[in-house]
Amino acid sequence: MTSELFRFQGGVKPDSHKKESSEVPIQRVPLPSRLVVLLVQSSQGSARTIVTVGDKVLKGQCIGEAEGVAGTAIHAPTSGTVAEIGRYPMAHPSGLASQAIVIEPDGEERWITSEPLDPATASHEELILRIQASGIVGMGGAAFPSHLKARSEIETLIINGAECEPWITCDDRLMRERAASVVTGAAILAQLTGARRVLVGIEDNKPEAIAAMRDAVRGMEPAALACLGAEPDMMSVVAVPTLYPTGGEKQLIRVLTGIEVPPGTLVTSLGVQCFNVATAHAVCRALLHGESVVSRIVTVTGNVERPGNFEVPLGMPIADLLAFCGLNPGTSRVMMGGPMMGFTLPSLDAPITKGCNCLIAASDELFPPQPPEQPCVRCAQCTTACPVGLQPFELYWASRAKNLDDAKRHHLFTCMECGCCAYVCPSHIPLVDYFRFAKSEIRARDEEQKAAAQARSRFEFRSARLEREKAEKAARLAAKAAETRAKAAADGNAALIAAAVERSKDEADA
């Protein structure tokens, strides 16, 4: 089935650098001496610890329950002992620490007894709860809880295998080697969301992945076929042109369906939902095999001895993984994610989490330092490159001048920080940094205003209360005074009467 493709505006074509890591099969890594499983593994919620130090755990055993509606569970990545529960740095630009469960592996890799769930017989709610309890989040990098997205009712399900960022190849390898599971996971998600069509979008620079996925769709497993209501034609694998950022949710939706998602609109309201291929794979493993998310495929590339893709247990310290891959001398920094949207890790002590798709060891040869920033001459190449129709240089002028209202008026918050503008800027201006700065300034200002408004309303309430209490007190005093007066008046009258009585008595006696 061929479907018409659409174009999104803008976009750039950076050197792909895929071959460095895409030609070797996915490898296992040796277990490190400690696995640091962060309680925060998703963008929306966290888990609540249900083990204590000293507990023996099996691989896949739940060690943290989903907290609240948005939370997702976490599981022991291997069998061993809970050695510590404490704070460890997160893989985040801030380098902040977060609560984590540390497990010392026993090296036996003993799985907990698995309990598969058959999508054909289980209820909708059971399946959704299983996705949450298996700890599945968006594995493309955003780590949004998947059970929240799986609840939507949609027409078109999009499976994102675009992998448009340079250097990253973990989805490519996954599709080449485990296409059947990806297809089955996609079919399960289609059943859950009631989608009538499933489009798997893959950039055309991955012909092997496209071929493998097409084969898998043709030879679909019976379980997947059942999920699609015995209509295999519902699912098709679409090769999309290689153009960064095709893998952005709104961009891929545009390319595959022609729908332009307005800013601030939930895609589900337009009958579409997007899942990453690795998320679909995790759904398949969780439901059909009873395996929770205990590992993920991470691309390690750049200035390393053995670049490639690795099945990494969650919680493996990044330093250990890099040591296994052989970090070459001359590495100036390590990036997480791709070079366009990723960030430089402040510390290599942070552990691998579910959203970590790629580590790039950067050297000055591979990533030459940016030339010095030059003045903006409004050449508008950034406008041409922007995939969401913004004028980045106007945003830049506004952000630089801290003219926050102007930045908002130029749709600052529509910016998804894809980095196309900074990539094309002939003046080498780090535009995205300016936008992040302006966004944080606006958020801080809004917080401040909210706090001020709250303080004012509290003060006004207190003033009103004091005023009311004063009035009540005055009224009470007045009432009491009146009473006293009345009483005194009454007493006075009685005395007069008594005196008069006395007087009349005296007169009578006389």
Partner 1 sequence: MMLTVLAALLPGIAAHVWQIGAGVLVHLAIATATALAAEAAVLHFRKRPVMIALSDGSAIVTAWLVALILPSIAPWWLTVTAVLVAIVGAKHLYGGIGQNPFNPAMAAYCAMIVAWPSFMSQWPSPNGIDFAAQLNLIFGGSREIDGITGATALDAMRTGLRNQNDIRSILAADTFGFAGGRGWEWIAVGYLAGGAFLLARRVITWHLPLGFVAGLGLTAGVFWLIAPDSFPSPLFHLASGGAMLATFFIITDPVTAAASPLGRFIFAAGAGAITWVIRTFGMYPDGIAFAVLLMNICVPLINHATQPRPVGQRKDSQP
Closer by beta carbon to partner 1, 320 or else 394? 394
Q: Give the position of tokens 């507990």.
A: 55
Among 204, 389, 469, 478, binds partner 1 (CB under 8 A): 389
Contact pattern from residue 9 through residue 48 relative to partner 1, giving x for each residue in contact according to CB under 8 A and a dash for the rest: x---------------------------------------
Contact call for residue 333 and partner 1 (CB under 8 A): no
Nearest-10 Cα torsion for 350, 355, 358, 362: -50
Contact call for residue 377 and partner 1 (CB under 8 A): yes
Rule CB under 8 A: which of 422-441 touch partner 1?
426
Closer by beta carbon to partner 1, 27 or else 414? 414
Q: With beta carbons less than 8 A apart as the criterion, state whether 71 and 81 touch.
A: no
Backbone angles phi, psi at 62, to 5 degrees: -70, 125
For residue 103, give the nearest of 293, 294, 323, 299 by alpha carbon: 294
Among 93, 262, 326, 492, binds partner 1 (CB under 8 A): 262
Contact call for residue 203 and partner 1 (CB under 8 A): no
Contact call for residue 400 and partner 1 (CB under 8 A): no
45, 65, 69, 184 from 148: Cα distances, Å: 11, 16, 8, 20
Contact call for residue 374 and partner 1 (CB under 8 A): yes
In one-letter notation, the amino acid at residue 178 is: R
Closer by beta carbon to partner 1, 54 or else 372? 372
Contact call for residue 406 and partner 1 (CB under 8 A): no
Contact call for residue 350 and partner 1 (CB under 8 A): no
Smallest distance from partner 1 to CB 447, Å = 20
Q: With beta carbons less than 8 A apart as the criterion, state whether 135 and 353 touch.
A: no
In one-letter notation, the amino acid at residue 432 is: V
| d(C-alpha 418, C-alpha 250), whole Å | 12
Contact call for residue 481 and partner 1 (CB under 8 A): no
Smallest distance from partner 1 to CB 374, Å = 7
For residue 301, give the nearest of 206, 168, 209 by alpha carbon: 168
Closer by beta carbon to partner 1, 269 or else 457? 269
Count of CB atoms situated within 10 Å of the CB of 133:
17
Contact call for residue 410 and partner 1 (CB under 8 A): yes
Alpha helices in 271-402 (DSSP H): 277-288, 318-325, 381-385, 392-400
Among 56, 218, 378, 443, binds partner 1 (CB under 8 A): 378
Smallest distance from partner 1 to CB 281, Å = 30
Q: With beta carbons less than 8 A apart as the criterion, state whether 309 and 135 touch.
A: no
Smallest distance from partner 1 to CB 375, Å = 4
Q: With beta carbons less than 8 A apart as the criterion, state whether 195 and 275 touch.
A: no
For residue 217, give the nearest of 235, 193, 195 by alpha carbon: 235
Q: With beta carbons less than 8 A apart as the criterion, state whether 345 and 94 touch.
A: no
Contact call for residue 380 and partner 1 (CB under 8 A): yes
Contact call for residue 383 and partner 1 (CB under 8 A): yes
Among 149, 250, 281, 439, binds partner 1 (CB under 8 A): 250
Among 67, 384, 417, 436, binds partner 1 (CB under 8 A): 384
Contact call for residue 408 and partner 1 (CB under 8 A): yes
Nearest-10 Cα torsion for 499, 504, 509, 510: 100
Convert 245-299 into a string of H (helix), E (strand) and C (coil): CCCCHHHHHHHHHCCCCCCCCCHHHHCEEEEEHHHHHHHHHHHHCCCCCCEEEEE
Among 136, 150, 390, 431, binds partner 1 (CB under 8 A): 390
Among 207, 219, 241, 263, binds partner 1 (CB under 8 A): 263
Closer by beta carbon to partner 1, 9 or else 347? 9
Count of CB atoms situated within 10 Å of the CB of 288:
20
Contact call for residue 409 and partner 1 (CB under 8 A): yes
Smallest distance from partner 1 to CB 377, Å = 5
Closer by beta carbon to partner 1, 377 or else 510? 377
Contact call for residue 414 and partner 1 (CB under 8 A): yes
Contact call for residue 65 and partner 1 (CB under 8 A): no
Closer by beta carbon to partner 1, 129 or else 270? 270
Among 25, 329, 368, 372, binds partner 1 (CB under 8 A): 372
Give the neighbor-by-neighbor strand order of the sheet with 272-276.
235-240, 197-203, 156-161, 272-276
Among 388, 404, 420, 438, binds partner 1 (CB under 8 A): 388
Angle between helices 207-218 and 179-193 (to 10 degrees): 60
Contacts with partner 1, residue ranges (CB under 8 A): 8-9, 250, 254, 260-263, 265, 372, 374-380, 383-384, 387-391, 393-394, 408-411, 414, 426
